[in-house]
Structure 1
Amino acid sequence: MNRILLIEDDIDLAKETSLALEKWGFYVDLIENFEKILEEFIDKKPDVVIMDINLPLYNGFYWCEKIRDISNVPIIFLSSRDSDMDLIMGINNGGDDYITKPFSIDVLVTKVKGIIRRAYKYSDSSSIMHYDDLIFDIEKGTIKYKNKCEDLTKNEIKIFTSLLKNKNKVVSRESLMMSLWDSDEFVTDNALTVNINRLRGKIKDIGFNDMIKTKKGMGYIIQ
């Protein structure tokens, strides 16, 4: 049974969402002490975090960054904020998906199932990929070059895997979006662009510049 940590300060909505998720076979933990979200995360060891942005004390972006310091667990933002900037901030801060309120529980369940399937499909693999002397460990979600190492988010892992598997071939934006979310129905171009740019930044930080090239009107390529 997959475990979900639901971080929502609207108690009625939290209980309603929790009951709906439990009917679909998930085990749901609710946060009661919003001062100790990170401690609760460490204690509960969830498979997925569903988190509101507007929270007491510190917002969801803050807690997402704290979780990202220690874990690559999938994080879905659930918020009444619906601007492109909020979506970009959510993805930029390490979120894997973003759902606006009011929302359909069927959409939420579909997103949760999809993100679990995608996030943990590599759990039984120790697959290692290489690009020159760069080492990409899919299972651990890390890229290493010489003495430098960077952790990748689940979305970055999938993007990098797709590009490396298709080395010297252009991978379309549509193909990447499908690999991330199975369907591009709920995805904006901004979300993919943010993920690509963040991945490029991490690759650059370990010593590779311009590895991922843009083919205008076509997609991306690693050569």
Structure 2
Amino acid sequence: MNYKIMIVEDDTSIANLLSDYIEKYGYETIVVKDFEKVLEIFEEENPHLVLLDVNLPRYDGYYWCRKIRNKSLCPIIFISARVGEIEQVMAIESGADDYITKPFYYDVVIAKIKSQLRRSYGNYSLQSQQRTIEVEGLTLYPEVPELRYNDKTVITTKKESILIEILISNYPKSVSRDILLEKLWDDQSFVEENTLNVNVARLRKRLQELDIEEAIKTVRGVGYRLEVTWRND
């Protein structure tokens, strides 16, 4: 499995050094450069782990940690020059899994990355004890959240996970737009009409990453339906 690590660090030299060192171990890295779009980049890239600095332009790392945690349970490790106890407590309360103080040894960073990946996706993962939803070999782990098919895995956002769970649970029936909106958002009055379409499009992209094409069918005047188009592959 090719793990993807997202680096959110505004010191370019540190970010690049981290990226180079991490890639030596076979991981893929995404170095964030636009610090006003951290969440957007996270949702687009779906990394398996995030390295996050505290001191960032405009919004600090605690803010972005909470935003990411609302979408995903992927591991988040803070890397910060702030060494105080209160800073580390704030990181954990924001949803972080670990905290590394600067200056740091790169080998320590790698060790902690490996530890978190094992805990979340590897031998120490609790996925085998978690709830799973399956249809024709496509398995959803809602609590991770993660989709698996054959030997491929993709990490989904919280909304994508809820959406595919509803479609799988109702298969082969169609699900109305009103029901999907009700399940995905508590207050539909503040949701734009196109928002559901965008989330469906993103979910289709996740399924394409698993080599599953045209699995979500638009039912005109009703909503959406899951079609198991891959079962004869």
Shared topology, TM-score over 0.5? yes
**Where does residue 37 of structure 2 map in the other structure?**
36
**Where does residue 141 of structure 1 map in the other structure?**
143
Work out the CA distance in 2 between the residues paired with 1:118 and 1:31.
Answer: 25
**Where does residue 65 of structure 1 map in the other structure?**
66
**Where does residue 102 of structure 1 map in the other structure?**
103
**Where does residue 90 of structure 1 map in the other structure?**
91
Name the amino acid aligned to 2:128.
Answer: S
Kindly state the Cα deviation for residue 125 of structure 1 after the two structures are TM-superposed.
2.3
The one-character-per-residue Cα deviations of 1:47-72 (angstroms, maximum 9, x if unpaired) are 00000000001000000000111111
**Where does residue 128 of structure 2 map in the other structure?**
125
Name the amino acid aligned to 2:143.
Answer: G
Q: Give the TM-score, by structure 1 length.
A: 0.57
Name the amino acid aligned to 2:60.
Answer: N
**Where does residue 53 of structure 1 map in the other structure?**
54
The one-character-per-residue Cα deviations of 1:136-169 (angstroms, maximum 9, x if unpaired) are xxx5339xxxxxxxx9xxxxxxxxxxxxxxxxxx
Kindly state the Cα deviation for residue 108 of structure 1 after the two structures are TM-superposed.
0.3
3-state secondary structure, aligned to 2:74: coil
User: Does the 8 Å CA contact 2:78/2:96 hold for their aligned counterparts?
Assistant: yes
Work out the CA distance in 1 between the residues paired with 2:115 and 2:68.
Answer: 21
- The structure with the largest alpha-carbon Rg is 2
Work out the CA distance in 2 between the residues paired with 1:76 and 1:64.
Answer: 9
Residue 10 in 1 paired to residue 11 in 2? yes
Kindly state the Cα deviation for residue 24 of structure 1 after the two structures are TM-superposed.
1.1
Work out the CA distance in 1 between the residues paired with 2:85 and 2:111.
Answer: 22
User: Does the 8 Å CA contact 2:75/2:96 hold for their aligned counterparts?
Assistant: yes
Work out the CA distance in 2 between the residues paired with 1:112 and 1:71.
Answer: 17
Q: Give the TM-score, by structure 2 length.
A: 0.54
Structure 1 unaligned regions, length at least 5: 129-138, 143-150, 152-223
**Where does residue 21 of structure 2 map in the other structure?**
20
Kindly state the Cα deviation for residue 127 of structure 1 after the two structures are TM-superposed.
3.7
Q: Are residues 120 and 35 of structure 1, via their aligned partners in 2, closer, same or farther at CA, if it must alter by over 3 Å?
A: same
User: Does the 8 Å CA contact 2:130/2:143 hold for their aligned counterparts?
Assistant: no
Name the amino acid aligned to 1:45.
Answer: N
Kindly state the Cα deviation for residue 126 of structure 1 after the two structures are TM-superposed.
5.3
Name the amino acid aligned to 1:141.
Answer: E
3-state secondary structure, aligned to 1:125: helix
Matches within 5 A, 1:138-217: 139-141=141-143
3-state secondary structure, aligned to 1:4: strand
3-state secondary structure, aligned to 2:14: helix
Work out the CA distance in 1 between the residues paired with 2:85 and 2:115.
Answer: 23
Structure 2 unaligned regions, length at least 5: 132-140, 145-157, 159-233
Kindly state the Cα deviation for residue 124 of structure 1 after the two structures are TM-superposed.
5.5
The one-character-per-residue Cα deviations of 1:6-59 (angstroms, maximum 9, x if unpaired) are 000000110011100001111000001111000000011100000000000100
Kindly state the Cα deviation for residue 120 of structure 1 after the two structures are TM-superposed.
1.4
In the TM superposition, structure 1's runs of 4+ consecutive aligned residues that sit over 4 Å from their partners are none
Name the amino acid aligned to 2:96.
Answer: G
3-state secondary structure, aligned to 1:35: coil
Work out the CA distance in 2 between the residues paired with 1:127 and 1:112.
Answer: 22
Work out the CA distance in 2 between the residues paired with 1:141 and 1:28.
Answer: 24
Work out the CA distance in 2 between the residues paired with 1:123 and 1:43.
Answer: 26
3-state secondary structure, aligned to 2:30: strand
Across the aligned residues of Structure 1 and Structure 2, the Cα RMSD in angstroms comes to 1.8
Name the amino acid aligned to 1:57.
Answer: R
